[in-house]
Amino acid sequence: MSQAAPADAQRGVILLKPRGFCAGVVRAIDVVKIALSMYGAPIYVRREIVHNKHVVDELRDAGAIFVDELHEVPEGKRVIFSAHGVSPAVRDAAKARNLKVIDATCPLVTKVHIEAVKFARKGFTIVLIGHKDHDEVEGTLGEAPDSTVLVENVADVDNLVIKDPTKIAYITQTTLSLDETVHIVNRLQERFPLMQSPHAQDICYATENRQVAVKAVVPMCDLLLVVGSQNSSNSRRLVEVCQQGGVAAHLVDDFREVKAEWLAVARNVAVTAGASAPENLVQDLVAYLQNQGFTNLQEMEIREEDVRFSLPSGLDPSALVKLTPMVATSAR
């Protein structure tokens, strides 16, 4: 049974960096803000622009209307595609309804889509490593549905039947666990030695960096709190990485979800945030922890990030300053 931390022990917070917003998320949120400023409300957005409850709620309050499918958007209106990307079928549906499309797909997701199309044109069977029903996976599968099979774990690999083992390639969802993906890829290579791979890793830089930071802090803490929403894949992976290292970890939307029993047995609490979580939520959590007696605050930077993505054509960056800032950008 876990014991409470000694009353006289100095309790602290280790704040990880990098954390929070990645370049693709910053770009996607800016796209919605700029569109609202340039064209006025309402602006329709297909699915959540990024997987964070607070971000979506604030953009909704500003005039964005989030829909599950395009038939909910009136004909001829303006719609934004989320950072997770869409399939060609969705693009065709938008064209059929004469919708004015602004594409906020993360460029790193677009890279995976392009890989899928290239492999399919060469007649390859494409093994997509990812999580079923995730928005990103849905879009990627749609690029070459007749040529792509989805695997979620090593067991799925063992059950694969490939028509031509000499023509097989793999791609991945961008927000996976690095360690879990390595195991899956290794098993694929054992079964299909001639399998081709992407030119560069599909798992995005931000996902990797945040997981590397979590691994580095595991020996220094006895609790990790990850700020992020439950439907955020990269946030959930951070929790898993920490738990695999033998340290308790929990995903919270904000400080109000922290449970007293988690803190009662902790001396050093590490804090990070998924790639779609705003920095103000992190700072609120840190302030809460300090009020609970975790007064020794230190920031631990593992890797520096300076990635930036350009906006889609037709959007005026200067329009961004016309809106009152909503969600604060993350420490980089």
Residues marked as catalytic: 136
Q: Which long-range contacts (CB under 8 A, 24 or more apart) does 130-138 make?
A: 130/172, 130/173, 130/176, 131/173, 131/176, 131/233, 134/84, 134/173, 134/233, 135/47, 135/48, 135/51, 135/82, 135/84, 135/85, 136/84, 136/85, 136/109, 136/173, 136/174, 136/175, 136/233, 137/173, 138/87
Q: Which stretch of DSSP H or E encloses residue 207?
A: helix 205-217
Cα–Cα distance for residue pair 281/60, rounded to 1 Å: 18
In 37-61, which positions are buried (b, 16+ CB within 10 angstroms) versus exposed (e)? Answer: bbeeeebbbbbbbbbbbbbbebbee
Cα–Cα distance for residue pair 67/204, rounded to 1 Å: 26
| Alpha-carbon distances, residue 188 vs 62, 89, 143, 175 (angstroms) | 46, 29, 22, 19
